[in-house]
Amino acid sequence: MSMSELNRQQKRLLQRQGTLDAEGMPVRRDRRQLATPQPRRGFHPRQFLDEVVLELRKVMKPKRPELINYATVVFFTLAFLMALVFALDYVYSIGAGRLFK
């Protein structure tokens, strides 16, 4: 894509990013300028805990009826899956017993 194919909005965006100068021409950058690393901030446990608390305040806690409903659904789903696995195991054990008898 050439510079003449860019619309006004794309040129403004590239100028804000520093890729184009005020006249719309590409900016040449020195390789040393591109290779300079940004200063890295260290890990601060207090800041981490503050951010965790901030995020936990955004969490919506379920009301008691919702919690009972969710727990009931999980319990019956688990019971159904346990019964299904038990039945399949029983049927396969009978089949293997007859096969290898």
Query: Please, what's the b/e burial string for 72-92 (b: 16 or more CB within 10 A of its CB; e: otherwise)?
Result: eeeeeeeeeeeeeeeeeeeee
Question: HSE (CB half, 13 Å, CA atoms) of 63?
Answer: 2
Tokens encoding 15: 């100028």
Residue 33 has pLDDT above 60, yes or no: no
Cα separation, 87 vs 89, in Å, equals: 5
| Dist. CA 82–CA 86, nearest whole Å | 6
- Please write the tens of the pLDDT for every residue from 42-96: 788 999 999 999 999 999 889 999 999 999 999 999 999 999 999 999 999 999 9
Mean pLDDT calculated for residue range 6-32? 78
0.85 surpassed by pTM: no
